[in-house]
Chain A
Amino acid sequence: MLPTLNIQNLSFARLDRYFIKDLNIQLLPGEILQILGENGSGKSTLLRILAGLIEPTDGTVYWENRCIFKNDTDYKNVLRYLSDRNALKSYLTVEENLKLVIALGSTESNYLATSQLCHSREGGNPFGIDSRLRGNDRKEQVVERRECNIKHLLKKEVQYLSLGQRRRISFTKILLNPGKIWILDEPMTGLDKKGQEWLNTSLEKHLNANGIIIIATHQPLLLKNTIKTIQLGDISLA
Chain B
Amino acid sequence: MRELTSYFVFIQAELKITLRQAFSWITPLLFFVIVVCFFPLALGPDTELLQSIAPSIIWVAAMLAMIISMGSLFKIDADDGFLDIILLSPRSLTMLVFCKILSHWIMHALPLIIISPLLGFLLHLGTKELVVLMITLALGTPVFSLIGGVGAGLIIGIRNHGLLLPILIMPFYIPILIFGTGTIHLAEANQPVLAYYAIMAAILLVTLAFAPLFTGMALKIGVNQ
| A-contact 0/1 string along B68-101, CB 8 Å cutoff | 0000000000011110111111110000100000
For the complex, give the distance between the alpha carbons of A98 and B87 in Å. 17
Would you list 25 pairs from A and B whose C-beta atoms are within 8 A, ordered by A residue?
A: A54-B224, A76-B88, A76-B90, A86-B81, A87-B80, A87-B84, A89-B13, A91-B16, A91-B17, A92-B16, A99-B13, A100-B10, A101-B85, A103-B1, A103-B7, A103-B9, A103-B13, A104-B85, A104-B91, A105-B89, A105-B91, A107-B91, A109-B90, A135-B1, A157-B20
Which range contains the number of B residues in contact with the other chain?
A: 20 to 34
Contacts of B80 in A (CB 8 A): 85-90
Once the chains bind, are A53 and B87 in contact (CB under 8 Å)?
Answer: yes
For the complex, give the distance between the alpha carbons of A79 and B10 in Å. 20
Q: Which residue of A lies closest to B223 (CB)?
A: A53
**A52 vs chain B, min Cβ distance (A):** 7
Q: Which residue of A lies closest to B86 (CB)?
A: A104
Once the chains bind, are B17 and A106 in contact (CB under 8 Å)?
Answer: no
Q: B27 at interface (Cβ–Cβ under 8 A)?
A: no
A interface residues with partner B (beta carbon < 8 Å): 51-55, 73, 76-77, 79, 81, 83-92, 96, 99-107, 109-110, 134-135, 157
Q: B191 at interface (Cβ–Cβ under 8 A)?
A: no
Once the chains bind, are A87 and B85 in contact (CB under 8 Å)?
Answer: yes
B interface residues with partner A (beta carbon < 8 Å): 1, 5-7, 9-10, 13, 16-17, 20-21, 79-82, 84-91, 96, 223-224
For the complex, give the distance between the alpha carbons of A204 and B1 in Å. 29
Once the chains bind, are A52 and B81 in contact (CB under 8 Å)?
Answer: no
Contacts of A104 in B (CB 8 A): 6, 10, 85-86, 89, 91, 96
Q: Which residue of B lies closest to A87 (CB)?
A: B81
Once the chains bind, are A87 and B17 in contact (CB under 8 Å)?
Answer: no
